[in-house]
Structure formats: C-alpha cells, structure tokens
Amino acid sequence: MQLPDLMMARSVLPLLDIAGIAIFAVSGALAAARRGQTIVTFLFFAAVTGTGGGTLRDLLIGAPVFWIYDNRALAVCLVAALAVWLTPRRVWPVNALEWFDGAGLAAYAVFGSWKALAYGVPPLGAAMMGVVTACMGGVIRDVLAGEPSILLRPEIYVTAAALASGLFVLLMMAGAPVLPAAGIAAAAGFALRAFAITRGLALPAYRD
C-alpha cells in the first residue's frame, strides 16, 4: 500500500468504526425499546452492543481496548440511546432493529478486518476478526434481552459478516486500494443481509 493511500485509510476508516458503533448502539437501544425499558437500560444496551464486538477483537489481537482511550465511542453510544429514548415508538418501523443491525454488521466487519491486518494478523485470522467485531455485540445484546442468540437462529447474519470481512481481505491481498475495497466489501455484506431480511432467507439446518 502506498503512503498516501495508507494515510487516507487511517483517516477515513476510523469513521467507518464510529458509524458501526453508532448503528449498533441504536440497535441495542431499540432492543430495550421493544421491552419498554428505562433510560438506564437503553444506555447500557446501547453501550454494550456498540462496543462489545470491538472490545473482544482488541483483546484478541493485542490492541488497546478502543473505548477506554477514545471518548467518542461511548459518547456516540450514549447519544444514540438518548435519540431512541426521545423518539416515539411509532416512528420506528417494526423491523428497524434488523436494518440498523445489518448496516452496523457490514461496516464493523470491514473495519475489524482492517484493524486486524494493521496489527499484523494473517489474512484468515483478520477475516475472522471482522466476523467477531461485527457479531459479538449483537450476541451480547440478544443474551441480555433474553432472546435466542443470533448464532442459534438460521438467519443469514454471520454469513453476511463473513462475506464483508472475507471479501475485504481478499481485495487487500489482491492489491486493491483500501478505501474502494472497504466500500465494495461493506456494500456486499449489507446487500446480502438486506436480501435475507426482505426475502426471509435462512441457511438450511442440520437434519437427522
């Protein structure tokens, strides 16, 4: 990667991280809204959902846990929670949580893979770190909300994250510029998740 491309990536891709955090935080707050919870629960769900996947990623790759050293992460989560709290429930579509979750999934999968690559993680591990970054916040949210984890449902969810992170890593290995690679990979992951939401697609389950 040439120096100008690297410098641009380091300035632009963190914005993808903040976008993913914000979108996941909204999905966490919406999960609290579905249950008519208090503002404290809104804030907690938003923070845990927005930072959960990135926290596990940073611990695994040996990076400083991002939200401890960057006030923006938790600030974005708190603002997202308050925005949902102050908005009447009728404003949000029935499946708003799924759509916000899908958008966050795509953005976070790409950023997680990029950060892993930046820390010297090999390609396959970097792709897996993208999946971890994208999925673990939603898993924690579902557990806290008392819902079956997304990992235990046949929805095309982890597959969409794997498409985004895997495609990004492949494009990087092929020498593609990082920002177009990030855009293409995130769009592909979101498109697959959106198609699954609108068409009700699911992976086949194990049968005896």
- Encode the chain (208 residues) as per-residue pLDDT tens digits: 443 444 455 566 677 778 888 888 988 898 888 888 899 999 999 999 999 999 999 999 999 999 998 899 999 999 999 999 998 877 777 677 788 888 888 988 999 999 999 899 999 999 999 999 999 988 998 888 888 887 777 778 899 999 999 999 999 999 898 889 999 999 999 999 999 888 877 788 777 6
Total-model pTM: 0.85
Query: What local confidence, expressed as pLDDT, does residue 10 receive?
Result: 59
Query: What local confidence, expressed as pLDDT, does residue 18 receive?
Result: 84
SS3 sequence, the chain? CCHHHHHHHHHHHHHHHHHHHHHHHHHHHHHHHHCCCCHHHHHHHHHHHHHHHHHHHHHHHCCCCHHHHCHHHHHHHHHHHHHHHCCCHHHCCCCHHHHHHHHHHHHHHHHHHHHHHHCCCCHHHHHHHHHHHHHHHHHHHHHHHCCCCHHHCCECCHHHHHHHHHHHHHHHHCCCCHHHHHHHHHHHHHHHHHHHHHHCCECCCCCC
